[in-house]
Amino acid sequence: MIRKLIEKEKMNLDKIKIDKFLDNQGKITQLPQKQSIRAATLCYLAEKFESNRNYTEKEVNSICEAWHTFGDYFILRRELIDYGLLCREPDGSRYWKPKNDLPNRTDKELRLNTAFHLIDFDNWDRKQYFYYFTKMLPTGFSISVEADITNTYNMIKKQNKKFFPAYLYLASKLITEQQEFRISNLNEQLGYYEVLHPSYACFHQDDKTMSNMWTEYDPNFEIFYDNYMEDQDRYADNHGILAKPDTPPQNSFMIGMLPWIKFTSYTPVPYADINNYFPVIQAGQFFDRDGKKIMPLSITVHHAVADGYHVGLFLEKFKTGIAAPESWI
């Protein structure tokens, strides 16, 4: 999807004006929402990299940091990779600019961005909390809230699209912005992934069973939506525990929706040790109240990696985002 989009847009990128997104020093002040202008802005940043050399992650971070004035360099680095303007080894040991400025999407690990960064445990600010909540008092907790989804629901319906993938996208986007929700174990080492992909249940009306499905996350909503619809078209009718032939990638998190239940609380209970500390997100049945459409929403986290503050931040950002879909759709 990304490759086709970039190939299509590159024909006209040179004609697109990005001046209003640059300051007087040529630094990027914000990432445009419109796909073509965003691509042109990222191509402008990609020009700061040479095509005939390799870069370390630190060098990539320094270049991104030097050419923007907003947010975190991590956002720009991730966008360059997601748009295929910068390539990376799966372990993050080497970065390089493709000579034709087009993505190489043939490697599955690269495409799914499975780069895993080790945590310096001895110097980690959560070292004591992690030990306490995994060894002394293993604890997780769930929080359920109500979200006003009226604006997003109405906008999606006007566009003749489905609400569920919009919900998946927003949750995935916010999780990718919070490192504490992307922590996992890999080869008995603690670290974090750069991005998580949503793994969800596909319900079969014919026999009332469900199958697991997952969709590749993309920071661009339209691309993610197309990814979701393609998965539905190809795999939704497959029965069994896995609807999609490929098992969910190691950097995927559980998210779902219970359209039959208007719950006030939801808590998944694992019956075995798990290898990651990703959150579990669940939505419930919509209902109308005072002219608004309300959706129950639950998030369950492991206390070893996140506290109430982190969950509160996620929920606040979700409520803000779902109330203002024009900022991300």
CATH classification of the domain holding 240: 3.30.559.10
Q: Which two tokens stand for residue 96?
A: 């390089």
Strand partners, 316: none
> Which of 91, 106, 82, 116 is closest to 216 using CA atoms?
82
Segment 121-133 mean pLDDT: 95
- Decide if 298 contacts 282 (C-beta within 8 A): yes
Last residue of a domain, one of 111, 140, 164: 111
pLDDT for the residue numbered 90 = 62
- Tally the domains of the chain: 2
Segment 277-286 mean pLDDT: 97
Say how far apart CA 215 and CA 46 lie, in whole Å: 27
For tokens 């009306």, the residue is: 205
Claim to verify: residue 83 and residue 161 sit in the same structural domain: no
Claim to verify: residue 137 and residue 238 sit in the same structural domain: yes
Claim to verify: residue 219 and residue 263 sit in the same structural domain: yes
Segment 278-301 mean pLDDT: 98
Claim to verify: residue 156 and residue 93 sit in the same structural domain: no
Claim to verify: residue 83 and residue 147 sit in the same structural domain: no
CA dist list (Å): 11 to 1, 36, 80, 220:
17, 11, 18, 20
Claim to verify: residue 126 and residue 63 sit in the same structural domain: no
**What tens digit of pLDDT does each residue of 160-180 get?**
999 999 999 999 999 999 999
Claim to verify: residue 297 and residue 160 sit in the same structural domain: yes
Q: Structural domain of residue 145, as residue ranges?
A: 121-327
Amino acid in the structure at residue 267: T
At 72, the pLDDT band (50, 70, 90 cuts) reads confident
Residue 107 has pLDDT above 50, yes or no: no
Active site residues: 303
Q: Is residue 116 part of a domain?
A: no
Claim to verify: residue 246 and residue 293 sit in the same structural domain: yes
Claim to verify: residue 166 and residue 307 sit in the same structural domain: yes
Q: Is residue 174 part of a domain?
A: yes
Claim to verify: residue 158 and residue 289 sit in the same structural domain: yes
- Alpha helix stretches (DSSP H) within 67-193: 73-82, 108-111, 127-131, 150-158, 163-176
Claim to verify: residue 167 and residue 302 sit in the same structural domain: yes
At 97, the pLDDT band (50, 70, 90 cuts) reads confident
